[in-house]
Amino acid sequence: MKAIGRLPPTSASLLDDEARPYFLWWTRTTVGELKLHLQSPDLDERAYWLGALLREANTRDVWLFTNESEIRSLWSYLLRHLGRSRNMWAWLLGLPRPIWPPPEAGRA
């Protein structure tokens, strides 16, 4: 029986640190720079870039840069950056459907 593996990236350029990934279309960030952002000690910075990855990239390309554990650990920081993909990622990760905007956002 053949083991089920991960699909290859949608583009081989995603393996090149000097390439500009298709899913970061609004910036000149390279693959290498994205990797650095995703390792930042600043949680807001990491959440912004991970949110962009989850929101804009083909799902099969996401796993080149992160894993389920990392997404789960930053989930509360990520929610604001996921846009319309918020519910899909909650479903994929088996998390409760997020309430957005959060109830406390309406309090001023």
| Every domain of the chain and the residues it spans | 12-106
Give Dmax (Cα) for the chain.
59
Angle at the Cα of 45 from the Cα atoms of 8 and 102, rounded to 5 degrees: 95
Please state the pTM of the whole predicted model.
Answer: 0.89
- What pLDDT sits at residue 81? 97
Angle at the Cα of 13 from the Cα atoms of 89 and 3, rounded to 5 degrees: 60
Is residue 30 within 8 A of residue 20, CB to CB? The reply is yes
C-alpha 2, offset from chain centre: 29
What is the block-wise mean pLDDT of the chain (108 residues), using blocks of 10 residues?
A: 74 97 98 98 98 97 97 96 97 94 73
CA distance 87 to 36: 27
